[in-house]
Structure 1
Amino acid sequence: MTKSKVKILLIYTGGTIGMVKDFKTGALKAFNFKNLLDRIPELQLLDCDIDTVSFKNPIDSSDMQPKYWVEIAEIIETNYQGFDGFVILHGSDTMSYSASALSFMLENLAKPVVFTGSQLPIGDLRTDAKENLITSIQVASLQHQGKPVVREVCLYFEYKLYRGNRTTKLNAEHFQAFVSSNYPDLAESGVHLKINTEHLLQTNGARPLKVNKNLDENIAVVRLYPGISKTILETIFSVPSLKAVIIETFGAGNCTTEAWFIGLLKEAILKGIHIINVTQCAGGSVLMGHYETSRALKKLGVITGKDMTTEAAIAKLMYLLSKNISANTFKTKYETALRGELS
């Protein structure tokens, strides 16, 4: 008996990849993904069956919100048993945030969830959309001995497959828009599709998928800079509903040693506000205590984000805050890799 083809569900949320150009007017218009095979006949060469689903009202990725992450997660949850892999078409601007969020929301994930998009619309003469889409579907359909090769949330863009929660959008103009500074590529597409198996997240798939739909948005992100105002920071830390603050520090987690700044952090922590330290550098890790300018943070009990991206730090924070766990447990879990988001 012949095994049925691998089934892939294509989820369209919005973004440039879903637009086509009206060649008479030059205007962009939404693309009907029900006619996907007609628009990209090359997809018929892939050894898989492709079905499509779209947000009722597709959004620009700049309008992405946690409620839409829940919508994506629910689509995957509803169709999890019926499909072997999922490809999410998404605007590139907030794709790293969404990929990071879904990595935490989809617990015990044992199938591929691949985010992709494009810098140019699918109907543009020089579009990057076709290659990104075709290879993403191919990655999602890869199987070995009847099981998916990729079993995590990832992001494919311009010949590279990355772990989703390790990515940052670095360039608004180049086709190579994303980087994963602190973790190797999961795959590279060239003449052959090379999978770096040793870098893939290893899951046994024994536990059933659990979808975490509660996300706590009562957080703030503060990027330090020379001359940052005490008044501004006091205003942020005095927000009544605030539960956590991510501080983007200098270099390896360093900050000003001004007494008012350290005192403000100490006061916040005593009030039960979690303080997370991530570096504002594109690559590298927080090493609290390595320099004099970060020893005070370590002594206060500031949580280290190690080599997490800000996108992953935000997503992990929203996820863990919804768990209502003790401060000590929170710190331990935050500083521990849950989905391969830190080294």
Structure 2
Amino acid sequence: MDKQNILLIYTGGTIGMIKDAHTGTLKAFDFDSLLIKIPEIRLLDCSIETVSFEEPIDSSNMNPNYWQAIAKIIESNYNDFNGFVVLHGSDTMSYSASVLSFMLENLEKPVIFTGSQLPIGDLRTDAKENLITSIQLASLHNNGIPIIREVCLYFEYKLYRGNRTTKINAEHFEAFDSPNYPTLAESGVHLKINHEFLRKEKFEEALIVRTKLDTNIGVLKLFPGISEPIVKAVLETENLKGLILESYGSGNATTDAWFINQLGKAISKGLHIINVTQCSGGSVIMGQYETSSQLKEIGVISGKDITTEAAVSKLMYLIGYNIKPEEFQFYFEKPLRGEMT
């Protein structure tokens, strides 16, 4: 078979830094000299090209404009490459992987996000393994057909579905987890691909890139003693169209009359409120307990086992495309890219 063509997209982040041997300061890595800095890449049976943001950014500055830029790079190069590896800072990587999964409709090629906890030039870096294995995973194919055909995230020997991930540690190399969905692949002496968990959809239509996102949303995390003025201020935020409500356990919240009334009033005015759990794993099951049955009655939408990162992304995506109010709950509670069970 012909060599697979892989495009590396560098957005910024720790993985793209090297330490100046004289000053000790970190500076951006020139990815045009990738093969010189990481000669092991020559052993991979693929051809690699690179493209970088004109000004690489810290992932804390990631926003919809940069998401659109990543999506457009993939769109314009889609027919010329077999897979894509996006190098990204780890802090907001789960958000970016989630939103790209919604933006890239009918995706039939791998888009793998990766990064590192230590710069690529550090003696103890995790960057080389993450980068090399991500490229290898993006190159996997069966008779020219990519084995992985979705947006993923690779970190510390594990490949995850991107919109199922969350960052769990700022210090350890094992920085990510996928609490409600199994790993797609594991890297050891051999690459173990968990084929049964991969997306296998085949699409008749070509790739469609959806770039409309509406950022007029918010996240409200409940805590014991939360006050009415705080909740009211959030719900009455100007131009607010959607709200992620981080509730307790399986979707529970206080049953105080003022709280239920405030939410009900906001929903009646057209605000979409999504119930997700604060727990790292598990699912919202509204109506299981009395403390969630009232939320269901007033029209709060169940986020099921979606992560907050994916809920934020999906809410921006659906509001951006002006889904009809009477259909909004149906589309949010329906898995669109494997983001919920």
Q: TM-score, normalization: structure 1?
A: 0.99
* Cα deviation, residue 232, structure 1: 1.1
Counterpart of 1:136 in structure 2: which amino acid? S
Counterpart of 2:209 in structure 1: which amino acid? V
Indicate the larger mover: 202-211 or 91-100: 202-211
Secondary structure in structure 2 of the residue aligned to 1:201: coil
Once the two structures are superposed, the pairs formed by residues 111-130 of structure 1 within 5 Å of their partners are 111-130=109-128
Counterpart of 2:239 in structure 1: which amino acid? S
In 2, Cα distance between the equivalents of 1:214 and 1:121? 33
In 2, Cα distance between the equivalents of 1:18 and 1:217? 28
Secondary structure in structure 2 of the residue aligned to 1:69: helix
Counterpart of 1:275 in structure 2: which amino acid? I
* Cα deviation, residue 203, structure 1: 1.5
**2:278 alignment partner in structure 1:** 280
In 2, Cα distance between the equivalents of 1:24 and 1:58? 23
**1:269 alignment partner in structure 2:** 267
In 2, Cα distance between the equivalents of 1:288 and 1:172? 32
Q: Provide structure 1 residue ranges, at least 5 long, that are not aligned to the other structure.
A: none
**1:234 alignment partner in structure 2:** 232
**1:15 alignment partner in structure 2:** 13
In 2, Cα distance between the equivalents of 1:4 and 1:249? 51
**1:41 alignment partner in structure 2:** 39
Q: Runs of 4 or more off by more than 3 Å in structure 1?
A: none
**1:145 alignment partner in structure 2:** 143
**1:108 alignment partner in structure 2:** 106
Q: 1:60-84, CA deviations, whole angstroms, 9 ceiling, x for partnerless residues?
A: 0000001100000000000000000
In 1, Cα distance between the equivalents of 2:137 and 2:56? 24
**2:197 alignment partner in structure 1:** 199
Q: Which residue among 151, 156, 177 is the counterpart of 2:154? A: 156
Q: Which residue among 214, 217, 232 is the counterpart of 1:216? A: 214
Q: 1:22-76, CA deviations, whole angstroms, 9 ceiling, x for partnerless residues?
A: 1221111110000000011111111100000000000000000011000000000
Q: 1:85-113, CA deviations, whole angstroms, 9 ceiling, x for partnerless residues?
A: 00000000000000000000000000000
2:170 equivalent to 1:172? yes
Secondary structure in structure 2 of the residue aligned to 1:217: coil
> Once superposed, what is the RMSD of the aligned Cα atoms?
0.6
**2:133 alignment partner in structure 1:** 135
**2:2 alignment partner in structure 1:** 4
Pairs aligned (count): 341
2:108 equivalent to 1:83? no
Indicate the larger mover: 227-236 or 147-156: 227-236
In 2, Cα distance between the equivalents of 1:287 and 1:327? 22
* Cα deviation, residue 236, structure 1: 1.1
Q: Which residue among 50, 53, 56 is the counterpart of 1:55? A: 53
Q: Provide structure 2 residue ranges, at least 5 long, that are not aligned to the other structure.
A: none
**1:302 alignment partner in structure 2:** 300
Percentage identity across aligned positions?
66
Counterpart of 1:228 in structure 2: which amino acid? I
Q: 1:263-294, CA deviations, whole angstroms, 9 ceiling, x for partnerless residues?
A: 00100010000010000100000000000100
In 1, Cα distance between the equivalents of 2:210 and 2:20? 41
Q: TM-score, normalization: structure 2?
A: 0.99
* Cα deviation, residue 4, structure 1: 2.7
Secondary structure in structure 2 of the residue aligned to 1:77: helix
